[in-house]
Amino acid sequence: MNHYQILIIGGGTAGITVAAQLRRKDKNHKIAIIEPSEKHYYQPAWTLVGAGTFDFKDTERNEADYIPDGVDWIKDKASDILPESNTVKTESSGDFTYDYLVVAPGLVMAPELLPGLKEALGKGVVCSNYTDPEHTWEVLQNFKGGNAVFTQPLTPIKCGGAPQKIMYLAEEYFRKTSKVRENTNVIFATPGSVIFGVKDFAKTLNKILIEREIIFKPYYAPVRIDAENKFIYFKYIEKGENGCIINEGNKIGEEIVGDSEIKMSFDMLHLAPPQQAPKFIRESSVALQDGPNKGWVDVNINTLQHLRYPNIFSLGDVAALPTAKTGAAIRKQAPVVVENILHLIKNKTMGKEIYEGYSSCPLVTGYSKMVLAEFKYDNVRDSDPMISKFVDTTKEQYSMWLLKKYGLPFMYWNLMLKGRA
């Protein structure tokens, strides 16, 4: 049986960053990463790919180039975690045991959770930057007017701001390039109550919605899609409300179906598919088995240590943390996991590093404009002190667009995945 001092499940952003930082701090530990994929993607740029301003092939690299030197790569899928025996099972490479386990496999797309989506996604006018941003760009270019609907599911998703970023870019594209904006209703329908949870940034985004005549529909949770007839159905979920509200003079042609369903036609539909933890995580005892975080890994939100198995840590999209699931969050989570594991190995006690919930959403609001929304737990603004000294990140900035398009990808490939940032 293969044994590792530190075993990492997942070779995405979180797994590679943790492995790289561990190697930089101490080269004496036996470490392995379980990861089946040959390719590694910089997914934050997929928003820009979907808007025709970034080349998809530039988001793709070989996974082998980013496995840190001295770390074993188990090119396989984890299939089960048995924490009582410190064992991880794989699909074809057998069992592996560990002293410390880092659980970071990311999440998976689950379009089957929204009836009609699996059959429609990536075909015709139903698109998603989460699965095929090149198809999104085709849809935008072919769009001739009507209802352009942008929405997201009730489940947690990667980068909660992404469904509205492509909407802002699409709206500008329709206005400046396709000349179809005057014949288009741009609609953002979300299960959430506000456009963004942090007030300083929401103020700017609400102003953009008004100025650009974007129709905002809060409390709209998508429940099914009829792609053949181009209808999407929503449930109105505001607490304490029994029905739903149709306003704006109903120029978008909504209909009420039954007690609380809303039927909306679309001429293009962009959405984030429902998302969830991988099946082997959901079925393992490392995941919460009930409650609002059911299926996600049960960790202390500050130390990232498992609440029931002290030699297990989790970070990234799969961890049950009340903050946005972003690469920026991982950048702050990884040093906490690394410090705590190394401290446990050396001193048998936890280190002092804690994670305060930092996440960031680079809200692209157009071609050459971006609002850099940074926040921590409880939706408290948490802007970088260095950037904030020179730039008001609550306002649309060209400099932040440059950061998004050029700075962040460079930092990701050359610093973060190398354990330097």
Three-class SS state of 287:
strand
Mean pLDDT of 33-47: 98
Mean pLDDT of 205-224: 96
In the structure, what pLDDT confidence band is assigned to residue 248 with cuts at 50, 70 and 90? low
Buried b / exposed e over 356-380, threshold 16 CB at 10 Å, is ebbbbbbbbbbbebbbbbbbbbebe
Question: How big is the chain, counted in residues?
Answer: 421
In the structure, what pLDDT confidence band is assigned to residue 240 with cuts at 50, 70 and 90? low
Higher pLDDT, 421 or 164: 164
Half-sphere exposure of 391 (CA within 13 A, CB side): 19
Buried b / exposed e over 259-280, threshold 16 CB at 10 Å, is ebebbbbbbbbbbbbbbbbbeb
What pLDDT does residue 388 have? 72
Alpha-carbon 9 to chain mean position:
18
CA distance linking residue 375 with residue 353, whole number of Å: 18
Q: Which residues pair with 4 in a beta bridge?
A: 98
Residue 245 pLDDT > 90: no
For residue 295, what are its two tokens?
């299926």
pLDDT in tens, 158-207: 999 999 999 999 999 999 986 799 999 999 999 999 999 999 999 999 99
Alpha-carbon 141 to chain mean position:
25
pLDDT in tens, 287-315: 999 999 999 999 999 999 999 999 999 99
* Strand ranges across the sheet with 261-265: 220-226, 231-236, 261-265, 255-257
Cα–Cα nearest to 161, from 124, 118, 204: 204
Cα–Cα nearest to 193, from 146, 140, 236, 159: 236
Which long-range contacts link 74-81 to residues 24+ away (Cβ below 8 Å)? 74/32, 74/33, 74/34, 74/35, 75/35, 75/36, 76/34, 76/36, 77/34, 77/36, 78/9, 78/34, 78/105, 78/280, 79/280, 80/280, 80/283, 80/284, 81/9, 81/280, 81/281, 81/284, 81/285, 81/286
Alpha-carbon 191 to chain mean position:
16
Determine the residue type at 281: I
Go through the domains of the chain in sequence order and give each one's CATH number: 2-107+277-358+407-416 (3.50.50.60), 110-274 (3.50.50.60)
Q: Which residues pair with 305 in a beta bridge?
A: 313
Phi, psi (5° rounding) for residue 76?
Answer: -160, 170
What pLDDT does residue 389 have? 77
What pLDDT does residue 238 have? 81
What pLDDT does residue 387 have? 74
pLDDT in tens, 56-112: 999 999 999 999 999 999 999 999 999 999 999 999 999 999 999 999 999 999 999
CA distance linking residue 58 with residue 70, whole number of Å: 27
DSSP string, 198-265: SHHHHHHHHHHHHHTTPEEETTEEEEEEETTTTEEEEEE--TT-SS----GGGTT--EEETTTEEEEE
Angle among Cα 375, 380, 385 to the nearest 5 degrees reads 55
Residue partners of 375: CB distance under 8 A and separation at least 6: 197, 198, 201, 323, 324, 357, 358, 359, 360, 381, 382
What pLDDT does residue 1 have? 59
What pLDDT does residue 406 have? 96
The answer to whether 109 and 123 have CB atoms below 8 angstroms apart is no
Residue 233 pLDDT > 90: yes
Residue 257 pLDDT > 70: yes
The answer to whether 248 and 147 have CB atoms below 8 angstroms apart is no
CA distance linking residue 421 with residue 414, whole number of Å: 9
Residue 246 pLDDT > 60: no
Half-sphere exposure of 228 (CA within 13 A, CB side): 3
Mean pLDDT of 381-410: 89
Residue 141 pLDDT > 80: yes
Residue 241 pLDDT > 90: no
pLDDT in tens, 113-122: 999 999 999 9
Residues with catalytic annotation? 159, 361
